[in-house]
Amino acid sequence: MIRSEILKEIAPILRDQLVVCNIGIPSQELHAIDDQPTNFYMLGTMGLASSIGLGLALAQPKPVIVIDGDGSVLTNLGTLPTIANNEANNYILMIIDNGSYGSTGDQPTYTGRKTSLAGMARAAGCENVVEVQDVDTGKALQAAIDGGKMTVMVVKCDSGNAKMPVITMDPVVIRDRFMQAVAS
């Protein structure tokens, strides 16, 4: 499965949750599949989805699901120790690990070779780390939500992108409606 197929499958689970979504095509796909005020789309700033989500989870009680990418986590590896040492049980970091920089044309990342993000998360001190195959994403995500424990999910899937339009919504509109959804 490629990322967009996973997102289609888990859209019903994501719908009522606060979601912070990774830059580029992941956000375009989520926006096209099921735009919700509870979605925060990153239009720039590669790497910070996990940090934004953690700050949000620590600041308020609702569950927060971060849809991140292998390339973005690799560029902000310092996030893993911060996540591990500031435990928020309403925080789920779901890394779509397609082994590539998908948005920029599927150039391979090191996770397709020797590097294990699950292993790195564990070494950083994250206690609840699961690695799942694409077909099991929905089951694992629901289990993570129901478990009520801070979870890092590494979802192994194929590289590839769906053709979706760019997001033209103004960033302040995205942010404002998201904040209203958070506060409601």
Ligand X SMILES: Cc1ncc(C[n+]2csc(CCOP(=O)(O)OP(=O)(O)O)c2C)c(N)n1
Pick one of ligand X, other proteins, Mg ion, none as the site partner of residue 165 (Cβ within 5 to 8 A by kind): none
Fill in the per-residue mask, 7 to 46: x = in contact with other proteins (CB under 8 A), - = not in contact. Answer: -------------x-------------------x-xxxx-
Q: Using CB under 8 A, which of 16, 60, 110, 142 touches other proteins?
A: 60
CA atoms of 116 and 156, how far apart (whole Å): 11
- By CB under 5 A, is residue 98 in contact with Mg ion? yes
Q: Which amino acid is at 96?
A: I
- By CB under 6 A, is residue 101 in contact with ligand X? yes
Q: Using CB under 6 A, which of 72, 90, 137, 151 touches ligand X?
A: 72
- By CB under 8 A, is residue 117 in contact with other proteins? no
CA atoms of 114 and 133, how far apart (whole Å): 18
- By CB under 5 A, is residue 71 in contact with Mg ion? yes
- By CB under 5 A, is residue 4 in contact with Mg ion? no
CA atoms of 67 and 20, how far apart (whole Å): 6
CA atoms of 129 and 49, how far apart (whole Å): 18
Give the number of other Cβ atoms within 10 Å of residue 58's Cβ: 13
Q: Tokens in use for 169?
A: 């919504």
**Alpha-carbon Rg of the chain, whole angstroms?**
15
Q: Using CB under 6 A, which of 2, 10, 93, 96 touches ligand X?
A: 96
- For Mg ion, the binding residues (CB under 5 A) are 69-71, 98, 100, 102
